[in-house]
Structure 1
Amino acid sequence: MDKKLDVVVVGAGLAGLSAGRNLRTAGKTYAILEAHDRPGGKVFSEKIEGRTFEHGPQFVNRDMTEIVALAHETDQSLTRTTLAENAVFIDENRRVIDPLLAEIEERLTAAEIPENQSVKEFTRTQLKDPYLEKVANSLFSEEITNDSNEVSLAYLLEMSERYLSNKPENGFQVAGQLSNITDFLAELSGERVHYGDPVKQISGTEGDYTVQTEEAVYHTKAVIVAVPPTAAKRITYSDSLHEHFGEALSSFTDGAVIKYTWIYQEPFWHETETENGFKAVGGVVSVNQPGAAIADSSTEQDTESRLTTFIGGKTAKQYAEKSPEERFEIVLDSLVNAFGEPAKEYVTVKEAVWVNEPYYSGGYSDALRKDGLKDAAKILRNPYQGMVFAGTELAIGYPGFMEGAVRSGKAAVQELLGS
């Protein structure tokens, strides 16, 4: 492309599409370069036989104002996630673990954080109970979709502080398809979005950048890299950019998550025999498969009931190496262990694997390494010589969520145009 653009945006996920919308509003010339053949990044909805499956993120709450507004703009309402009254959490052996989860939260809040301590080091030194340690490691591995020994405890606490709501994250879901939102944002940018052409190199300096893809060359005054840090690290940068951003990009580690959505005619888990008698179960934390969890993901609008299995971190990477059939049998067995034979009576099930994805990155989002730069996110989200990064990992509010991605893309444009 011979004409010099005001901005090139790398990535057409929520952050990149949000940036594009705000550049359009500001009257700037821009292009959005996407490696894959569709917009949305990890937002990926699929409709099969009248049922919508969200293979990536799916939960929101009403304090997530940007994503809620986008739902309304696309004529979609919110539907409440329906948890049974007095629902409890159990492990796969049907032990009620709510008191343990409360203790973990209390210990975590009160913890003094040594320099470069990993999440796993915290569980080993502060919990001092083998079973409690197993529960905590599994819980955190699923939450950060990473090996708890690799991720900074300070980062985990900071992510919690940047969750700007006292409402649960899973309170609502969009009564439609989340891909409607990303399709809407992509349509706003229209032909400015270029698909199937990964960015390979960014060179130049402020006011005069060259962005090279596999198929084309773009000239631009400024650049917004709106892909996860581990994916952004695979791009080659000119020396001055690498010197400024390189260590910050290397401070993040790639996550991994596998997700199963199970459809059932009846919510049999509302009457589960636990060690404390029959209880309604809202979720399961696995102690034998670290990073594995099960959640009741049914909504008010559903005529059927749903469970969602999440497998994060090291366990997800191990399972990704197995055949789909072998992986499925392991996951189904974990459901049967938790809920009994009714778990086998599913209507249908769909799997999504987010592991070793070169352009989206794996997991819900990247996480900060225990030996990474503490201010890596700040370095990346602040413009330098007309270049800035965006993504849910870098968001000041709601990192790791769709809301964070939308806010980050918007903030990147504001910072870039104001710098």
Structure 2
Amino acid sequence: MRIQDLTSAAAVEKALAEYDDVGGQAFRELYEFGPSRQYYLSHADRLYDAKAIAGVAYGHQHPSDGPLSNDQFSGGEAATNLVLRAMGFTVLDSHSETVEAEMAWRLAVWRNLLARRDSSGLVAADAVRSVGAYGNFRGIWSDMSRTKKIHPDGVTIGLKHTGQHYPDDLDESGVLYHYPVTRQAGRDLGEVNATKAAATLGLPLFVISERGDRRAVQLAWVEGWEDKSSLFLVKFGEIPPVHVIDRDRSEEQPFDLEGNRRRRRSGTVVHRPDQARFKLEVFQRYGPRCPLSGIAVPQMIEAAHLRGDADGGTSDARNGLPMNAALHRAFDAHLFAINPDTLTAEPRPGGPSLEDMGILHPRLTLDHVPHPDALRWRYIEWLRCTGREGETQGER
């Protein structure tokens, strides 16, 4: 009984069909194989445990002998791969030595996951783990033993998003992914650096969400990060970002107050594909601190538009300010505005006072301030909404 006696491509295809029929985990358990750690047979965009497929295929070709067990392979995986390739099958090595090879491997994994989706667009948990797209119980998976070959910090492969702690940060276009915060600070930092490495190397990763015993998986790219707020901006899709947003670049482009990519998804539900990026860039420009209240807890800070998204306002960070969530609501309700000439908050006449709203620092004292056009548009709109359009500073 030698793996070299496997010569029937039809027997291999029969084993592949069986694998697909029962699922990878059940297939391996039935024939007592562990999941592959390095080599995968690629067929019709699907990936299979090469050694397990070969062992079972041997039994299909030689039924009197039965399948080869895991410890009956003479020559090991190298001999198995040669046998499969000799029959015209493709065997992939997941242990990449270069960025280019890693890119090819990750795209092969993505095609495999697409091919294994059910009618709801979900895959089995084993389908994710068996190809190394995810592999632990932490949020960030980088498989250091494998990816440190292409970057000393390792390269993140998968991000788990449960939706429990920050449900509003996930939508159909991407996710604002929070840095890990555990008692293992050194490991947390390593995972952050591995995720940054994925961005700088231009490698995609997989965002995994649990749906009961199934998994939703998105191909994604790290588009940027902001260390003070401990946020990664992660974009879904097969097209990589043009550049990595790793610092404030808001002054490098001309300012246009109008222009966003707001569109309706269905009914009255509005999809805002720039919102996550807007929040990250606002935090990069001003920091994750509300300048009016002094609150500097990133989880409590939102990015407020001056010219609103619904009014066609740009997603340029200069059209925004960081505000705590309560003040953002008050701002949108026109309870106060910021005078573009004095950079000072003014309460709505007859409304709550600045102190009542928690505005302890009425004057903006920032290293960078919003664009004057944005501040002026918002102020004029505030005067209109409070019935004082046409009123000038000297008339008040």
With the shorter chain as reference, the TM-score category is under 0.3
TM-score, scaled relative to structure 1: 0.21
Higher Cα Rg, which structure: 2
TM-score, scaled relative to structure 2: 0.22
